[in-house]
A and B are shown apart, each in its own frame.
Chain A
């Protein structure tokens, strides 16, 4: 959010650049201080944060509810895995390809549903998310997707002979991607198009009267949103080193949705908290019972909607505002 930085400056009395530098140090520090499994979890959290940011663009900022972003995550992951395993292409080349393909798929799905508004997008995307594992198992494309078995890939080693383990390198690579995507989205939302996107959410009719082509803007926003989530999917395939149909069930889409609400709807920083939440909370909950994560997820989601509709980001914003008074 554009207004947060001046607030922090007034609060802490530091220059904005000092603040950014501190943040960067804080983000890079785990590479040298944290054991490799925790680092892998942090990598996953960053990947989920990117995916949730993608969802937040269409659902938070544009007000069009998608319950099927797991499908784009899956497509991105499969594009990356197939390019690396079947075509022998380098890992970094899969990211732009995954983004473009997911953008096109998003356009195709969004086009019929977004002309109509209301709950049609939620219905269509939910159906898409339910159908995805079955589509990935389809015999006709088995030679590419590996059917039920999925595809195995390998994590890249650090380039240029850098003295880093592949886990450490993957964390830094993911982090760089995440910072890039977050800055781009922040700028997009602060721009003219970003304001148009939010205007459609707040009052579609007025936006239309101002001369905006609502259907086109919504469809394009959905495509960009699918693109970003697809990019996260590709990163996940590289980091996890494995894709299979059953890791992309409808639960993944629901997880992204829960992460968005808990982190903060229509917030740039919110998805970071959302990513951390979806990676670390189920681990804690699983110690109680196999079914516990789902039940706790559900309760936390409902609790947030009742008590903290702005999510963690909204809570922080309110705290900062109170401190400044």
Chain B
């Protein structure tokens, strides 16, 4: 029984990471109706920046906030340079750009920071707590995730800028007419998504170790989480991410074993599409003819 509880708690801890990446995906999806396949690679690149800063002697939390800031700027830059000129192109072009981004960012990461697997420091008490039920890092990273999710909620719910971003995503034409700069709202969305991705990368790196393909599997679970919760619902994506974390951990321990963990994400995705395509909390999309 103790083992079971431990697995659930560990699942919630990794689920928090999935929830963050799922949230980043949903934020870009809401604004542009595209899924950023490069989200994982961008987060890995950010995590390497954080490691470089920590190794340069900066305190962990200074490096943390600096990395989030740099990632935010890179996200904005990518939207301005790559996505903006192609705003009205076909879906295939957009997916092509994401794939190009995946290729460039992941190989650049390997080129600049080399391919060896590196350990990543954790800022939290490194050891078991509460009688071995949970490690300090699990507790700390879950707390960080919850703070981030809370901040995102407050930002979108209670600030003028958040309201403007929601308006730009919901109805670009009307938003523009009331003076919202829709293009910049999109760039801001990309920046926020890149920042959230960076936090997820930094929080997961001490667990899975840092290497250029670190986020590939995590991106898959985030897809599954976003679909499970409803791909157009940020709150749903967060719940979905946590759920996928728990399902993955329990399934990996008691049903399929660790060697087929990635396949479980695929099974969840196909299962959701078969049973409830809109996800648990998503809206069924009806288009007007």
Interface residues of A (CB under 8 A from B): 59, 63, 65, 67, 109, 112-113, 115-116, 118-120, 122-124, 126-128, 130-131, 134-135, 137-139, 205, 250, 254, 257-258, 261, 265, 289-295, 297-299, 301-302, 305-306, 309
Residues of chain B contacted by A305 (CB below 8 angstroms): 86, 89, 93, 96-97, 100
Q: Are A289 and B111 in contact (CB under 8 A)?
A: yes
- Given the interface contacts A301-B103, A302-B97, does A123 sit within 8 Å of B223 by beta carbon? yes
Interface residues of B (CB under 8 A from A): 33-35, 37, 82, 85-86, 89, 91-93, 95-97, 99-108, 110-111, 216-217, 220, 223-224, 227, 259-263, 265-266, 269-270, 273-274, 277, 289
Residues of chain A contacted by B277 (CB below 8 angstroms): 115-116, 120
- Given the interface contacts A130-B216, A130-B220, A309-B93, does A297 sit within 8 Å of B103 by beta carbon? yes
CA distance A299 to B99 in the complex (A): 10
Would you list the 9 A-B pairs with minimal beta carbon distance, nearest first? A294-B107, A298-B103, A298-B104, A291-B111, A302-B100, A301-B100, A112-B273, A291-B107, A295-B107
CA distance A131 to B267 in the complex (A): 10
Q: Are A139 and B111 in contact (CB under 8 A)?
A: no
Other-chain residue from B34, B35, B37, B262 in contact with A134 (beta carbon distance below 8 A)? B262
Other-chain residue from A109, A118, A126, A291 in contact with B37 (beta carbon distance below 8 A)? A126
CA distance A250 to B289 in the complex (A): 38
Q: Are A302 and B92 in contact (CB under 8 A)?
A: no
Chain A's closest residue to B263 (CB) is A131
Q: Are A294 and B106 in contact (CB under 8 A)?
A: yes
Shortest distance from the beta carbon of B81 to any chain A beta carbon, whole Å: 10
Q: Are B273 and A67 in contact (CB under 8 A)?
A: no
Residues of chain B contacted by A130 (CB below 8 angstroms): 216-217, 220, 262
Chain B contact residues: helix, strand, loop or mixed: helix
Shortest distance from the beta carbon of B86 to any chain A beta carbon, whole Å: 7
Other-chain residue from A65, A134, A205 in contact with B263 (beta carbon distance below 8 A)? A134
CA distance A169 to B218 in the complex (A): 45
Shortest distance from the beta carbon of A67 to any chain B beta carbon, whole Å: 7
Residues of chain B contacted by A298 (CB below 8 angstroms): 99-105, 107
Q: Are B85 and A134 in contact (CB under 8 A)?
A: no
Q: Are B35 and A291 in contact (CB under 8 A)?
A: no
CA distance A127 to B106 in the complex (A): 17
Most chain A CB inside 10 Å of its own CB: which residue of B100, B217, B220, B259 = B100
Residues of chain A contacted by B105 (CB below 8 angstroms): 298
Residues of chain B contacted by A116 (CB below 8 angstroms): 273, 277
Other-chain residue from A115, A123, A265, A302 in contact with B104 (beta carbon distance below 8 A)? A302
Q: Are B216 and A250 in contact (CB under 8 A)?
A: yes
Other-chain residue from B111, B217, B261, B270 in contact with A295 (beta carbon distance below 8 A)? B111
Other-chain residue from A120, A124, A134, A291 in contact with B259 (beta carbon distance below 8 A)? A134
For the complex with contacts A112-B274, A294-B107, 14 further pairs of A-B residues with Cβ separation under 8 Å are A67-B95, A113-B273, A124-B273, A126-B223, A134-B259, A250-B216, A261-B96, A289-B111, A293-B107, A295-B104, A299-B104, A301-B96, A302-B82, A302-B101
- Given the interface contacts A135-B263, A301-B99, A305-B93, does A119 sit within 8 Å of B35 by beta carbon? yes
Q: Are A306 and B85 in contact (CB under 8 A)?
A: yes
Residues of chain A contacted by B93 (CB below 8 angstroms): 305, 309
Q: Are B262 and A131 in contact (CB under 8 A)?
A: yes
Residues of chain A contacted by B104 (CB below 8 angstroms): 294-295, 298-299, 302
Chain B's closest residue to A265 (CB) is B92
CA distance A179 to B227 in the complex (A): 41
